[in-house]
Amino acid sequence: MDSDLSDADSVGNLSFEAESPLAPPAELLERLPSCDWLLQGDRRQIFFPPLEAQGRPQEQRCWSPFLEHGVPVVTEEVAREALLNFVNSKCCYGSAAATDLIVQELRQQTLCRYRLETFSESRISEWTFQPFTNHSVDGPQRGTSPRLWDIEVQVPPMFQEDTRKFQVPHSSLVKECHRCHGRGRYKCSGCHGASTVRCPSCSGAKRKAKPARRCPMCSGSGRRRCSTCSGRGNKTCATCKGEKKLLHFIQLVIVWKNSLFEFVSEHQLHCPGELLAKAKGETLFKDENTMVYPIIDFPLREISLASQRAIAEHNATLASRARVLQQRQTIELVPLTEVRYLYRGKTSVYYLYGTDHRVHVVDYPERYCCGCTII
């Protein structure tokens, strides 16, 4: 493209332009008759999903079979082995305390963890552009652009977030580049179009003062070739890549998001709640459908209230800006055990949580440095 610069587009006629691709002025792009409904305001619009008829609520469930589930009781041997495995995974924890401590009491409690996942799809349209390389243009002359919710796309696996972008059919326009004004180049800011800059060695004096001789770096000319533009005096426009024209089109941005609500039932032990939210549990109940309904009759009332609150919050948040594709609610049993022990006359505690017996140590007595993270 560099050799195609005409006399009319000489370096002297070029203006200085920023290299970063910026949006064109709003008045540059006229409204497309077939796309009037696509864009509003600042040329970016969120589209409301089509309304869908809701199904009938599910009938009242019988929880007796679910509540017969239980998690194995943690014994002293299991508690000690879990602590030893934890200690051995830490470089600065000694194993003597885990081996010799005396277990005084095991307090075990089974918690209920409720989760609601709502997998939704939202669609946004916006103007964008790319360098025009003389390829075919899919403009309004080829037909009317489809409505954005009518464009069929491949949905990713349920509950896996993703973002994809598509060019809306029949929405393309070819315009002169708004950054270089159709020249494909702009004047170099390093040499101001002169192709050379003052010699950094002699500061343009052409000669070296000590010893008095001709400057060897610029051969006595006082000027050096500009390294910014390699001596051309101009640079290729970064917006149109030297093509002089841009292809503007409406872009459809589809975002698939998995919204998550979590709640853990109350307990009397002092294990951090953030650990219990991530703990591995045993699934007690699972309900997955296009739309799930609140659990209203669970024996533990706070779980029923959490379900009602979660579904109400997700519906209120997503109803106006996204289409719900799938929902999934689960109730899991999460075992939690407080181990109270005696070591060298001092009483302390640690916790086992989750079905995989993860360990949280409050104050381990045999720790040699503070470089390990307590989990």
Alpha-carbon span 95 to 76, nearest angstrom: 17
Residue, of 217 and 52, whose pLDDT is higher: 217
The string of pLDDT tens digits covering residues 217-271 is 777 777 888 877 877 888 888 889 999 999 999 999 999 999 999 999 988 788 8
Under the banding of pLDDT at 50, 70 and 90, the label for residue 369 is low
Residue 335 lies in a domain: yes
The string of pLDDT tens digits covering residues 306-316 is 999 999 999 99
Residue 86 lies in a domain: yes
* Distinct helix (H) and strand (E) counts, the chain: 5, 15
Q: Residue range 327-337: average pLDDT? A: 94
Longest Cα–Cα distance in the chain:
102
Residue 338 lies in a domain: yes
Alpha-carbon span 83 to 103, nearest angstrom: 12
The string of pLDDT tens digits covering residues 88-147 is 888 778 888 888 999 999 999 889 999 999 999 999 888 899 999 988 999 989 998 888
Alpha-carbon span 105 to 205, nearest angstrom: 89
Q: Residue range 200-213: average pLDDT? A: 69
Q: Which amino acid is at 330?
A: T
pLDDT at 24: 65
Cα dihedral across residues 300, 305, 308, 314: positive or negative: negative
Domain count, the chain: 1
Residue 175 lies in a domain: no
Residue 268 lies in a domain: yes
For residue 165, pLDDT over 90 is answered with yes
Residue 307 lies in a domain: yes
pTM, two decimals, is 0.72
Residue 372 lies in a domain: no
For residue 37, pLDDT over 50 is answered with no
Alpha-carbon span 284 to 38, nearest angstrom: 46
**Structural Rg of the chain based on CA atoms:** 34
Measured from the Cβ of residue 70, the count of other Cβ atoms closer than 10 Å reads 10
Residue 122 lies in a domain: no
pLDDT at 86: 92
Q: Residue range 313-320: average pLDDT? A: 88
The string of pLDDT tens digits covering residues 273-291 is 888 888 999 998 999 999 9
Under the banding of pLDDT at 50, 70 and 90, the label for residue 7 is very low
For 302, the domain range is 64-117+255-361
Say which residue the tokens 């720790």 belong to: 367
Q: Residue range 43-52: average pLDDT? A: 58
Average pLDDT, the chain: 81
pLDDT at 280: 92
